[in-house]
Amino acid sequence: MKGIILAGGLGSRLYPLTYATNKHLLPIYDKPMVFYPIQTLVNAGITEIMIVVGGPHAGHFISVLKNGVELGIKHLEFAFQDTVDHNGKKIEGGISHALSLCENFADNSPVAVILGDNTTDADMSVAIHDFKDGAMIFLKKVLDPNRYGVPVFDSENKIISIEEKPLQPKSDYAVTGLYLYDNTVFGKIKTLKPSERGELEITDLNNAYIRENKLKWAELSGFWTDAGTYDSLFNAGEYWAKKHL
């Protein structure tokens, strides 16, 4: 299985911090943010990794990561997600769009996908080893599920749909930014339509697997948070600082 880290976007929720560099290179305790998802993949045995970057500071990744060897990566590639449309307007193409840029890299293999602002100490190796086909998403109970994709369960705890940032969440689970997909994922992305935000949404991709009865889920063990807001960035840094004491 190959690994994909999605680290594009403009990081606008973290202005003015992201005026200086890409969001995923901001520090979380003693490491740049992107080091954490890299370590999650490497610890699970995935050492062929593509990182999708974007925005005006995309070039900063090269000087920080170099060829990735010091982080345990054996093969590192980058893809660039453009964030300007034909009129010169800043846009964000969405997570599914970013993933679509990795089709040639995946080369028909399954992929482990992780958002570049996710930090976790969960061990993904068993789930990755046991993965066969379809899709697997990882859930975590949170206090503010309305910030995330939220699964809707039936009476047998099977996910029947995922709602994106609902005002009235039907569960207290969030879809974390960690996903396993088989090699049909890129064909499914090609069938997606842009949302009202003009993006190809990861929730729509996951719902495509649900319609085929091909989506499984697991609750993520250990610590997990994204780091895309001031509060979550602080909480992530606080956790990792205490973990190193």
- Beta strands 111-115; 2-7: pairing state: parallel
Q: Quote the pLDDT of residue 92.
A: 61
Rounded Cα gap, residues 47 and 51, in angstroms: 12
Banded model confidence at residue 88, pLDDT cuts 50, 70, 90: low
Residue 11 has pLDDT above 90, yes or no: no
Which of residues 224 and 244 earns the better pLDDT score? 224
Mean pLDDT of 119-148: 94
Banded model confidence at residue 84, pLDDT cuts 50, 70, 90: low
Tens-digit pLDDT profile for residues 161-179? 999 999 999 999 999 999 9
Which of residues 198 and 97 earns the better pLDDT score? 97
Question: Residue 2 phi/psi, 5° resolution?
Answer: -100, 160
Residue 85 has pLDDT above 60, yes or no: no
Residue 12 has pLDDT above 90, yes or no: no
Residue 65, SS3?
A: helix
- The pair of structure tokens assigned to 182 is 């088989």
Say yes or no: domain 2-243 is CATH 3.90.550.10: yes
Predicted TM-score of the model (pTM):
0.94
| Sequence-ordered alpha helix ranges (H) in the chain | 35-43, 60-65, 95-100, 103-106, 125-130, 185-189, 202-211, 230-243
Q: Quote the pLDDT of residue 229.
A: 92
Tens-digit pLDDT profile for residues 99-123? 999 999 999 999 999 999 999 999 9
Q: Where are the domains of the chain?
A: 2-243
Q: Quote the pLDDT of residue 82.
A: 83
Q: Quote the pLDDT of residue 162.
A: 96
Query: Is residue 50 exposed (0-12), middle (13-18) or buried (19+ Cβ within 10 Å)?
Result: buried
Q: Quote the pLDDT of residue 126.
A: 95
Mean pLDDT of 193-207: 90
Q: Quote the pLDDT of residue 8.
A: 87
Mean pLDDT of 191-209: 91
Nearest alpha carbon to residue 10 among 82, 77, 101, 97? 82
Q: Quote the pLDDT of residue 121.
A: 95
Banded model confidence at residue 24, pLDDT cuts 50, 70, 90: very high
Average pLDDT for the chain: 93
